Amino acid sequence: MAILASPIVDRRGTGPKTPEEGRRRSLVVEWLAHPQASFYLVLVPAVLLLALGVMMVLSASSVYAFVRYDDAYYFVKRQALFLVVGGVLAFVLSRRSPKQLKVVAWVLVLAALVLQLLTFTPLGFSNNGNTNWLRIGSISIGQPSELAKLGIVLWGADIFARKHKSLADPRHLLIPFLPVSLILIGLVALQSDLGTAMIMGALVLAALWYVGASWKVIGSILGAVGLAVAALVITTPYRMTRILGFFNQDLDPLGVNHQPIKAIFALASGGWWGLGLGASRQKWGGLVESHTDYMLAVIGEELGLVGTLVVLCLFLVLGYAGFRIAMRSDIRFCRYAAAGITSWFMIQALVNIAVVLRMMPVMGVPLPLLSYGVSALVANLMGLGVLLSCARQEPASRAYLRRRRRRAGRALVTTAGGRG
pLDDT at 157 over 90: yes
Q: Cα separation of 352 and 329, whole Å?
A: 30
CA distance 133 to 118: 9
Q: Which residues pair with 141 in a beta bridge?
A: 134
Return the closest-CA partner of residue 151 out of 118, 115, 125: 115
What residue type is 205 in one-letter code?
A: L
pLDDT at position 327 over 60:
yes
What is residue 8's predicted lDDT score, i.e. its pLDDT?
57
**Average confidence (pLDDT) over 124-142:** 77
Which residues make Cβ contacts (< 8 Å) with residue 40, sequence separation at least 6?
none
Q: Report the distance separating Cα 410 and Cα 413, nearest Å.
A: 5
Average pLDDT score over residue span 387-395: 97
For the segment 192-212, the average pLDDT, to the nearest whole number, is 94
Q: pLDDT category, 416, cuts 50, 70, 90? A: low
Q: How confident is the model at residue 238 (pLDDT cuts 50, 70, 90)?
A: confident
Residues of the chain above pLDDT 70, percent: 92
Query: What pLDDT sits at residue 111?
Result: 94
Average pLDDT over residues 293-314: 96
Neighbours of 117 (CB within 10 A): 13
Beta-strand relationship, 139-142 and 130-136? antiparallel
Average pLDDT in the chain: 90
Q: Which residues contact 52 (CB under 8 A, 6 or more apart)?
A: 299, 311, 370
* For residues 259-274, average pLDDT: 93
Q: Which residue has the higher pLDDT, 132 or 209?
A: 209
Does residue 20 have a pLDDT over 70? no
Q: Which residues pair with 151 in a beta bridge?
A: none
| pLDDT given for residue 413 in this prediction | 67
pLDDT for res 249: 81
- Is the pLDDT reported for residue 24 higher than 60? no
Q: 22: pLDDT confidence band, cut at 50, 70 and 90?
A: low
Q: Measure the CA–CA gap between 118 and 123, rounded to whole angstroms.
A: 6
Mean pLDDT of the region 40-46 = 97
Nearest Cα residue to 72 out of 368, 291, 365, 286: 291
Residue 17 above 60 pLDDT?
no
Which of the two residues, 33 and 207, has the higher pLDDT score? 207
Per residue, what are the HEC states of the chain?
CCCCCCCCCCCCCCCCCCHHHHHHCCHHHHHHCCCCHHHHHHHHHHHHHHHHHHHHHHHHHHHHHHHHHCCCCHHHHHHHHHHHHHHHHHHHHHCCCHHHHHHHHHHHHHHHHHHHHHCCCCCEEEECCEEEEEEECCEEEECCHHHHHHHHHHHHHHHHHHCHHHCCCHHHHHCCHHHHHHHHHHHHHHCCCHHHHHHHHHHHHHHHHHCCCCHHHHHHHHHHHHHHHHHHHHCCHHHHHHHHHHHCCCCCCCCCCHHHHHHHHHHHHHCCCCCCCCCCCCCCCCCCCCCCCCHHHHHHHHHHHHHHHHHHHHHHHHHHHHHHHHHHCCCHHHHHHHHHHHHHHHHHHHHHHHHHCCCCCCCCCCCCCCCCCHHHHHHHHHHHHHHHHHHHCCHHHHHHHHHHHHHHHHHHHHHHHHHC
pLDDT of residue 15: 52
Residue 257 clears pLDDT 60, i.e. is over it: yes
Mean pLDDT computed over 307-330: 97
Residue with the bigger pLDDT between 96 and 419: it is 96
pLDDT recorded at residue 397: 94
Residue 12 has pLDDT above 60, yes or no: no
Give the least confident one: 45-54, 280-289, 368-377: 280-289
pLDDT at residue 7 in the model: 61
Distances (CA, A) of 326 to 44, 148, 229, 260, 400: 18, 21, 31, 36, 18
Res. 408 pLDDT band, cuts 50 70 90: confident
Residue 38 scores a pLDDT above 90: yes
Mean pLDDT (whole number) for 84-94:
97
- The CA-to-CA distance between both ends of the chain, in Å, stands at 61
pLDDT at 307 (0 to 100)? 96
Q: What is the mean pLDDT of the segment spanning 291-304?
A: 95
What pLDDT is stored for residue 140 in this prediction? Answer: 75
* Distance separating alpha carbons of residues 183 and 19, to the nearest angstrom: 58
Q: pLDDT exceeding 90 applies to what percent of the chain?
A: 70
